[in-house]
Structure 1
Amino acid sequence: MTAFQVQWDNGKKTVDVETVEQLDAALDRVEKERGPKGRVFVVDITKGEDEIGVPIGLHMSVGHPVRNRVFWMGPGDGIGYEPELEPWHGEMIEFDYGHLPTEEVPEALRVSQEKAREAAREFIRTNERPTCLSWGSGRQARTRRP
């Protein structure tokens, strides 16, 4: 079995995982750590590359208690969201990516902490874009879906 790679702190920290249990241990570690300004880290979970050498996987956050983001790096729409969650219009949420704050748009912050973790687990089990989230482009993710 080929391992999935979990990276955070802009790739400075890496763990190879083959099972959901190993993934959970890695994500527990990520959730406890914070960037220099106390922000939750952006995490990449990848396995393999596409035809031009771009990693395939998830570019996401898992540690924010209110809202997180899950982006798919692969074929198809790339913004994961929970249809029952409206775009985020609360206090600004920033994540740590290379010790710089990310600039999140409301439609990207439509994933709960629990669902972000579920999506990561599903990716490890299937090596496919998770089906536990709906997927869209920026425009598709802006509006509530029935």
Structure 2
Amino acid sequence: MGIFRAVAALSKLRSRLAQQSTSLGSVRWLQIQSASDLDLRSQLEELIPEQQECLKKLKTDYGKVQLGNITADMVIGGMRGIIGLLWETSLLDPDEGIRFRGLSIPECQKLLPAVNPGGQPLPEGLLWLLLTGKVTFFNIDL
């Protein structure tokens, strides 16, 4: 469970950085994968240790920093006794609405795989984006 919290925290930081860079007019790059790269387990096995290291560094550097009446240690340690949530996969923008890993809903509709071109994205594509932070393409056989 702690691994998912770590992944969530780092994704939120990345989403904020991506959002800031796009608002400044910079180019934001997305990782796009082909069907030959599709193995969720191996993707997560690759991503989780990186996210764990980033969370360890975050806790080491900012563990004692006050966040109101709470500390980062309390947040990373399971949120015991506090009201809050460490989350990174989505962000609610007051102007554009919800963003998933830095992508707005219209951007998700354009980039994620769909059964019909221009149609609604497949749930599997959105799940892949939320878990890995990458856009992927599936071979769809109907």
TM-score, normalised on structure 1?
A: 0.29
Larger Rg: 2
TM-score, normalised on structure 2?
A: 0.29
User: Which is strand-richer, 1 or 2?
Assistant: 1
Q: Which has the higher contact order (CA 8 A, sep 6+)?
A: 2
